[in-house]
């Protein structure tokens, strides 16, 4: 029994660490879903856009990928704000389908733009830590980049949590997501608030994009993979809960790595998909949903 | 005679395809308490919502302190000095009492005077200070109503619109709340209330309007109107 | 049957005759264009049946395209079945899978349904990529299709295209169609009036799956080479979504216009496939913002003009 467990220690550790990355992939979608009641079908592609932005920055300035965040985060925030304010705000409230379809259109546009500019070649954000491992005691070797992903995710989520609970703007955003009409009566310009929220969500996408680029290879069509993953994280973890999304990430990460371990590498994504389908069928509000 | 703070002239309001308010005009003088009374469905809330900017009149004008405000979004009306206590209170359920008050006025100039405004609200409604870190949904009906009024005060408004504040509350609680409204008014804040409770309104208002089926049927000072006239207007006889 | 005014009927008959006789008077290029048009038409009519009439935005139609294509490949190659039979089996397999899928999928609403269908398709993609029997990710060559002439494939595709329009037309005039119209206009009210919404939607889902699966068989007669990555890829649905939205969702003519537009755009920009998708995406977004009913829907609204109206007069 013990040897069975110790055989699993690598997949379990890797699964949890990777789960942190999945958590931050899902946070942006969770925010938008919770605040604006919109499922951003372009979320995955926007994360990959951030990866490419980081790549460009790295070719212009010889810095490590993490430093490119200085440029990529503001760039993505601005993009998010503009997309929400000028595009998505205009179809909010027109029913369930228009926002979905506009986001879908946006997803295709981003993918094909990236394809045109960058060609279909696989890319990666190379850094010295990409191949290093960190020994823990004598029984475990953690890939450093997974650890960085995990820490990056926790830090981001903690900062976001602080933002929503302690700052004036954060509270205004929560108010607007609770009751848009009442928020308007408080002097809150909800259209502008939604755009700010989307800008923030894209900020997290920026971080996710850089981390993803450091951990995996990417090319213009990887977006949808991360979309389904983000959706999985959000659904499994439950709506409206930052912590829940993080936990959802951990669960999916574990499921994927364990799935790959037992069934083979081709089935890594499959395990995640199956869990998503199961949760969607039986408890669509998620396992840790708030109220 | 005090200055006219709010002047509504001949407005029609459609709620989707339904003609909810017909050719309504009213005038609210500064520092008065004015009530719009009517039965369910009379159109009073629609009228109030139109003043607040939630709905738009299809014609006519609404003037506030001499400035035309029809067509403004609600958050812009707030900036002009109009606050609303919405029907059903509309708390932000996932925010605490204190947080509800804090977002009560999201204009830059009010933000600076936030702490002062919160202190004044606590003076008026001490129970809110007691419960300040509780989630707003855990409050009783009466306490929620107080919170809603406290929220509306945060903007230091010139005019507060009260939409059916007695709904679902016990008579003693209603009496308590109306006493506070009177206190607020005594500080110079103008109040426009929408009410179904005729007696309560007559007792607490300087002027009343009676609406029925979307039209204003009667207006006047409570002392000058006969029971008969009021009854006829209320029921549309 | 006073379905159509005689001038419109004549016009339609003329067009159909022209299309049927196309190989005899037009260049092969144009026959190819009309072949692609017919296939896209059939597929988008089915997507429209779901999204425009049943209120089901599905992002998973590619599941049936893959299943239909692989059925054609497997049954004609490994079992030596005649091609028409393999195509029919493709349709049947799709219907069965749709039935199986419907149990969990129909518990999902709105965006959950959309992503649920997409996930199912992705799941199939992974399964087929890892399945030795169908050649893993490398796919199969539908060799039996080599024996068919280009014109035969064209006529089959044309039949599918015209057939899909006819099918949708008669569905809308049937009892099922009445139910769909009621759902489209006011879903909750129609439920109280006894319309079995679930049954209506399920039937549409099954029909659309079956037809899509069969049409996929024809499609792969033309494409010859099938592999999981593209067969079960979201790109199919991307096309169908754009075609239907731009052409006019919820109208019979919409997919016709949309498919024409799509095929011409694709041919014009055949050197730059990404550009054509980019332009389509931008047009689609523009349409949703400005004229959400699409080309045909806006025409119908402004001019009250319908070519193929299923309404009883």
pLDDT at C304 over 80: no
Residue A12 lies in a domain: no
Domain span at A193: 19-226
Q: Is B155 on the interface with A (CB under 8 A)?
A: yes
Q: What is the pLDDT of residue B1?
A: 47
**Which chain A residues are within 8 Å of B53, Cβ to Cβ?**
184
- Which of the residues C110, C111, C239 would you substitute to probe the A interface, choosing the one with the greatest number of A C-beta atoms within 10 Å? C111
Closest by CA to A186, choosing from B115, B79, C52, is B79
Q: What is the mean pLDDT of chain B?
A: 90
- Which of the residues B45, B53, B75 would you substitute to probe the A interface, choosing the one with the greatest number of A C-beta atoms within 10 Å? B75
**Which chain C residues are within 8 Å of A106, Cβ to Cβ?**
281, 285
CA distance A89 to A103: 11
Per-residue pLDDT reduced to its tens digit, B197-214 = 888 899 999 999 999 999
Per-residue pLDDT reduced to its tens digit, C164-188 = 999 999 998 888 888 887 777 766 6
Give the chain A residue nearest B155 (alpha carbons).
Answer: A186
Which percentage of chain A shows pLDDT scores above 70?
95
Q: How far is CA A125 from CA A64, A78, A211, A217, C215, in A?
A: 9, 23, 9, 8, 42
- What confidence tier does A284 reach under pLDDT thresholds 50, 70, 90? confident
The verdict on a CB contact (< 8 Å) between B103 and A171 is yes
**What's A241's DSSP letter?**
-
One DSSP character per residue, C109-174 reads -HHHHHHHHHHHHHHHHHHHHT-GGGTGGG-EE-GGGGGS-HHHHHHHHHHHHHHHHHHHHHHHHS
One DSSP character per residue, C209-238 reads HHHHHHHHHHHHHHH-EE-HHHHT-THHHH
pLDDT at C151 over 60: yes
pLDDT at B150 over 50: yes
- Number of structural domains chain A divides into: 1
Q: What is the pLDDT of residue C93?
A: 96
Give the chain C residue nearest A107 (alpha carbons).
Answer: C281
- What confidence tier does C191 reach under pLDDT thresholds 50, 70, 90? low
**Which chain C residues are within 8 Å of A285, Cβ to Cβ?**
none
- Specify the higher pLDDT residue, A139 or B207: B207
Q: What is the pLDDT of residue A272?
A: 87
The verdict on a CB contact (< 8 Å) between A185 and B90 is yes
- What confidence tier does C4 reach under pLDDT thresholds 50, 70, 90? low
Q: What is the pLDDT of residue A261?
A: 87
Residue A36 lies in a domain: yes
Kindly tell me the burial class for residue C289, based on how many C-beta atoms sit within 10 Å of its own C-beta (0-12, 13-18, 19 or more). Answer: middle
Cβ(C310)–Cβ(C252) under 8 Å? yes
Nearest to C119 among A96, A97, A277 (CB): A277
- Domain map of chain C by residue range? 37-233
- What confidence tier does B230 reach under pLDDT thresholds 50, 70, 90? confident
- What confidence tier does B144 reach under pLDDT thresholds 50, 70, 90? very high
Predicted-complex ipTM score: 0.86
Q: What is the pLDDT of residue B126?
A: 92
* d(CA C277, nearest CA chain A) in Å: 7
Which helix (DSSP H) or strand (DSSP E) does residue B62 occupy? strand B57-64
Residues 156-175 of A with CB under 8 A from B: 168, 171-172, 174-175
Cβ(C73)–Cβ(C142) under 8 Å? yes
Comparing A95-104, A188-197, B42-51, C72-81, the range with the smallest average pLDDT is A95-104
The residues pairing with B64 across neighbouring beta strands, listed in sequence order, are B6, B67
Per-residue pLDDT reduced to its tens digit, C241-297 = 999 999 998 889 999 999 999 999 888 888 787 888 889 899 999 999 988 888 888
What is the CATH class of B4-235?
alpha beta
The verdict on a CB contact (< 8 Å) between A281 and C108 is yes
Span C104-110, average pLDDT: 88
Q: Is B87 on the interface with A (CB under 8 A)?
A: no
Residue A221 lies in a domain: yes
Q: What is the pLDDT of residue A291?
A: 41
Give the chain A residue nearest C117 (alpha carbons).
Answer: A277
Instruction: Note the pTM of the prediction, 2 decimals.
Output: 0.87
The verdict on a CB contact (< 8 Å) between A280 and C116 is yes
- What confidence tier does A128 reach under pLDDT thresholds 50, 70, 90? confident
Q: Could you give the strand order of the β-sheet that contains B18-29, starting from the edge strand earlier in sequence?
A: B18-29, B4-15, B57-64, B67-68
Per-residue pLDDT reduced to its tens digit, A243-264 = 889 999 999 999 999 888 888 8
- What confidence tier does C199 reach under pLDDT thresholds 50, 70, 90? confident
Residues 206-245 of A with CB under 8 A from B: none
Q: What is the mean pLDDT of chain C?
A: 87
Comparing A67-81, A85-99, B187-201, B203-217, the range with the smallest average pLDDT is A85-99
Span B163-192, average pLDDT: 92
- Which of the residues A185, A188, A189, A289 would you substitute to probe the B interface, choosing the one with the greatest number of B C-beta atoms within 10 Å? A185
């Amino acid at each position: 029994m013990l040897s069975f467990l110790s055989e699993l220690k690598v997949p379990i550790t890797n699964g949890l660490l990777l789960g942190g990355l999945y958590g931050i992939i899902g946070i942006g979608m969770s925010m938008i879903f919770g605040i604006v009641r919109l499922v951003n079908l372009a979320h995955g592609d926007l994360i990959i856009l951030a990866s490419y932005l980081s790549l460009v920055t790295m070719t212009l300035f010889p810095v490590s990928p993490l430093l490119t965040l200085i440029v990529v985060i503001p760039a993505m925030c601005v993009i998010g704000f503009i997309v929400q304010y000028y595009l998505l705000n205009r179809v909010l409230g027109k029913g369930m389908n228009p926002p979905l379809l506009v986001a879908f259109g946006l997803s295709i546009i981003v993918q094909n733009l990236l394809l045109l500019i960058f060609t279909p070649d696989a890319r990666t954000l190379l850094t010295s830590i990409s191949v290093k491992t960190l020994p823990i005691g004598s029984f475990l070797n953690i890939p450093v980049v997974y650890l960085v992903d995990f820490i990056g995710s926790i830090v981001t989520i903690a900062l976001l949590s602080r933002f929503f609970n302690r700052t004036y703007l954060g509270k205004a955003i929560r108010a607007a997501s609770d009751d848009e009409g009442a928020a308007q009566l408080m002097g809150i310009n909800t259209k502008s608030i939604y755009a700010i929220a989307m800008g923030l969500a894209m900020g997290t996408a920026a971080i996710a994009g850089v981390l993803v680029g450091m951990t995996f290879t990417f090319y213009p069509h990887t977006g949808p993979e991360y979309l389904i993953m983000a959706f999985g994280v959000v659904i499994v973890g439950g709506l409206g809960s930052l912590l829940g999304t993080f936990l959802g990430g951990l669960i999916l990460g574990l499921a994927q790595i364990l799935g790959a371990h037992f069934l083979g590498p081709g089935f890594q994504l499959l395990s995640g998909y199956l869990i998503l389908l199961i949760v969607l069928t039986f408890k669509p509000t998620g396992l840790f949903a708030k109220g | 005679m005090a200055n006219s703070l709010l002047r509504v002239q001949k407005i029609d309001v459609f709620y989707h395809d339904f003609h909810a308010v017909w050719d309504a005009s009213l005038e609210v003088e500064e520092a008065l308490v004015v009530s719009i009374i009517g039965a369910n469905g009379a159109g009073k809330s629609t009228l109030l919502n139109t003043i607040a900017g939630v709905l738009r009149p299809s014609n006519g004008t609404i003037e506030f302190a001499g400035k035309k405000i029809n067509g403004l979004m609600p958050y812009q009306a707030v900036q002009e000095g109009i606050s609303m206590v919405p029907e059903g209170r509309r708390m932000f359920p996932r925010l605490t009492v204190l947080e509800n008050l804090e977002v009560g006025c999201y204009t830059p100039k009010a933000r600076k005077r936030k702490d002062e405004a919160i202190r004044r609200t606590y003076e008026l409604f001490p129970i809110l200070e007691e419960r300040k870190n509780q989630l707003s949904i855990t409050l009783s009906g009466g306490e929620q109503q107080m919170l809603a009024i406290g929220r509306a005060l945060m903007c230091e408004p010139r005019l507060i619109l009260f939409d059916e504040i007695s709904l679902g509350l016990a008579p003693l609680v209603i009496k308590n709340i109306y006493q506070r409204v009177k206190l607020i008014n005594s500080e110079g804040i103008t109040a426009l209330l929408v009410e179904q409770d005729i007696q309560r309104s007559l007792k607490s208002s300087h002027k009343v309007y009676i609406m029925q089926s979307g039209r204003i049927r009667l207006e006047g000072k409570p002392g000058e109107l006969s029971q008969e006239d009021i009854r006829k207007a209320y029921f549309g006889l | 049957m006073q379905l159509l005014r005689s001038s419109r009927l004549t016009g339609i008959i003329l067009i159909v005759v022209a299309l049927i006789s196309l190989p005899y008077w037009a260049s092969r290029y144009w026959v190819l264009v009309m072949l692609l048009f017919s296939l896209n038409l059939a597929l988008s009519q089915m997507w429209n049946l779901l999204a425009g009439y049943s209120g089901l935005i599905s992002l998973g139609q590619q599941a049936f395209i893959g299943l239909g294509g692989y059925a054609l490949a497997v049954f004609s190659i490994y079992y030596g079945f005649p091609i028409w039979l393999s195509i029919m089996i493709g349709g049947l397999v799709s219907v069965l899978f749709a039935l199986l899928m419907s149990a969990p999928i129909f518990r999902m609403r709105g965006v959950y349904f959309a992503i649920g269908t997409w996930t199912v398709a992705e799941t199939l993609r992974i399964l087929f990529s890892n399945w030795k029997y169908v050649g893993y990710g490398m796919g199969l060559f539908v060799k039996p299709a080599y024996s068919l002439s280009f014109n035969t494939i064209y006529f089959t595709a044309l039949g599918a295209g015209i057939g899909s329009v006819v099918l949708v037309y008669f569905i809308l005039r049937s009892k099922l169609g009445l139910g769909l119209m009621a759902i489209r206009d006011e879903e909750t009210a129609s439920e109280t009036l006894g319309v079995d919404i679930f049954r209506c939607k399920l039937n549409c889902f099954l029909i659309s799956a079956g037809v899509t699966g069969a049409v996929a068989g024809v499609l792969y007669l033309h494409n010859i080479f099938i592999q999981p990555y593209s067969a079960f890829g979201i790109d199919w649905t991307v096309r169908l979504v754009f075609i239907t939205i731009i052409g006019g969702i919820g109208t019979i003519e919409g997919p016709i216009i949309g498919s024409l537009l799509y095929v011409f755009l694709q041919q014009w920009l055949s050197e730059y496939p990404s550009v054509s998708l980019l332009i389509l995406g931008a047009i689609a977004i523009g349409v949703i913002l400005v004229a959400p009913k699409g080309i045909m829907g806006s025409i119908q609204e402004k001019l009250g003009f319908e070519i193929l109206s299923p309404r009883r007069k």
